[in-house]
Amino acid sequence: MAEYARPDYWTLRAKKEGYPARSVYKLEEIVRKFGLMNGLGGRRGTPERGQTGAGPAILDVGAAPGSWSLWLLRQMKGRGKLVAVDIQDLDIMPQIEAMGLHKAMGATKVDEPIGAHFTFVKGSILDEPVRARLRELGPFQLVVSDAAPATSGNRLVDQARSEELVEAVIGLALQVLAPGGALVTKIFQGGEERRLLTELRGHFAQARAFKPQACRSESFETYLVATGFCKSPEQAC
3-state secondary structure 38-69: CCCCCCCCCCCCCCCCCCCEEEEECCCCCHHH
DSSP, res 107 = T
Alpha carbon distance 165, 161 (integer Å): 6
Is residue 81 part of the annotated active site? The answer reads no
Task: Please report which residue ranges of 99-140 form alpha helices under DSSP H.
Answer: 128-137
**Contact indicator for 142, 180 with CB cutoff of 8 Å:** no
CA angle 153, 26, 84 (to 5 degrees): 85
Strands (E), 90-229: 117-122, 140-145, 177-188, 204-210, 221-229
- Options 16, 186, 211, 231, the catalytic residue: 186
Q: Which residues, in sequence order, are CB contacts of 167 under 8 Å at separation 6+?
A: 196
Active site residues: 186
